[in-house]
Structure 1
Amino acid sequence: MKMLITGGAGFIGSALIRYLIENTEHQVLNIDKLTYASNLVCLKSIENHPRYQFQQIDICDKAMFNIVNNFEPTIIMHLAAESHVDRSIDSGLPFIQTNIVGTFNLLEAARHYYSTLDKDKKANFRFHHISTDEVYGDLEGTNALFNEQTPYQPSSPYSATKASADHLVRAWHRTYGLPVVITNCSNNYGYYQFPEKLIPLIILNALDGQPLPIYGTGEQIRDWLFVDDHVKALYLVATQGKIGETYNIGGHNEVKNIDVVKNICRILDKLRPKDYLHESLIIFVTDRPGHDARYAIDATKIEKELGWQPQETFETGLQKTVEWYWANLDWCQRVLHSNYDRQRLGSQSN
């Protein structure tokens, strides 16, 4: 099969492409604008593989029509997005442009291409839209879990634009018959994540002996999903998911932000002991506006229908992640370019 991946130089996209090249026989076209959070170094191990190719382009560009037509994908997996909540609060326009306008443009390119296919190729074509659990809003004060029927109540400009994109994808399926599947995932972590997100930010600050800033009291709860588990789920949905359906993907790891940070500190205390405990670096900072208190995914549907289960516990995945960043500080320095200020960004949860 031919797989067109948007946002393939980002954190999840690059993990997906590495998985596809290393574990399948599919051809892969990576489409990425190469924004601040994208880095082709993440794909160094497969960049010269004969089944892999890359084109630098914005998904908002009308040239996407020609790219889709010329590549003739069997499956489009759409991961390209602006995804950082704090940045969306500072300025929502890039999120509207990429997450809404870009998704619209890609849907139209896919619809035009799909209309040219014969019956057999139409039967195999899929448009897989990768989204987030943040579209569902906040579970504060409940023991509930997000499922595929949970109403949308996005809280941030970021989650609102992702919710908008989800609605567009469903509308193109209902109105035009475009064969789509949607996945909504919980917080990802793992190798090659841009260091503005909570886990890599805390690891790198701790390694530098810098303050570990935590929003509010750190009681916010997230369901943590190791990125390698996520991409295996994405591949299953793209190739075996039922057309028109949504699948929630979660790691079964609900952890408070403060406990995430403390766990990182304990790992580093053993990995590189200092004359102080890393927890002593923790500071609490003013919470961000509209900060959701709890996210949690019910992944029963994908587990029952497609047989997917996360392989990593939070403990094993976090250990691997901390060790990877410790061993790859050169990569971290390359992506932390001169106009990026870690301290200003504070301690983030997705």
Structure 2
Amino acid sequence: MISAERESSAGAAADALRGASRIAILGHVNPDADCLGSMGAVRLGLTSIGKSCVLSLPPESVARKLTYLTALGAMHGGTLVEVRACNASLILDTAREKRVNIAGEAAAFAALPPIINVDHHATNTRYGDVNWVDPHRSSTAEMAFELLCALGCAATSDIATLLYAGIHSDTQGFSLASTTPRCLDVAHQLARAGARIAEVGERLHRSQTREEFALHQLIHQNTRISADGRVAWSSASLAEIAATGCDANVIDNQVEIPRSIEGITVAMLFTEGEPGVIRVNFRGEGGTAVLPIAEAFGGGGHVASAGARVRGELGEVIERVVAAASLFPSRDREGAEA
């Protein structure tokens, strides 16, 4: 049984999972490769040691290119009734209760079995009964690897590939400040275990449809730069996204387009995923902290990689957020992490 809430480690999270026979596995809304790779790898690992697992994963929430990971992890979403029938909930890569990818939202969250919260976001609210939160990790996939080791699960080629995809994605191909020696050591162990590195690169980065290519073109065309050359942003409205033949869940790391401009310290991408709700992705370059900007608009994340959902008309939201970003210090090297 899971006891009183406490700050935990991989060992404590593993102990809680050992005491459960049927485990619900959940992640965050608009799941990315780190979230899905972690969920899939943990599902495969837990089933290999005799646990029964149910995933909360509405199929419409997964972007097309990431269905590669859901197929690799044999990830099929269960019903809310099945999730509630579990005796433990493992929530991965999810900083806040409202971000949990579950139908019914607040009411459904309240009905979840005892929660084991494993995450690397600095803004995690420790909402679990067991909380293993480490903002110094490159990714939740890095933590999931340690969790599976603590459980005694063998790292098969599929498990290694899923975890490698998560780490590779969240570190932007091992190019960000979060790429620590520990992160590289885990990637090395995953490669030795049979992670299909070239396959991950091809499926996640070199398999765009023509429609997705048109969306990238749109983001390039809509990119703007502030007068001082410090802030860059782009946007995609509902109508513009629809005109490319895509839907909003295809928007993933396209914020890297404005971020790639020389001299930029703050990059943002504004996506109208539904009428009146704008998703904003923030990235800081050169040690710039963007988390305070995201938090000012009710969001969260990491020091140099954050997000928020802001209500309002697209143009008005862009104006407000860009104005706020222009007021923040350009650099905060102390403790910045992507």
TM range (shorter): 0.3 to 0.5
The higher relative CO (CA closer than 8 Å, separation ≥ 6) is in 1
Query: TM-score normalized by structure 2?
Result: 0.38
Query: TM-score normalized by structure 1?
Result: 0.37
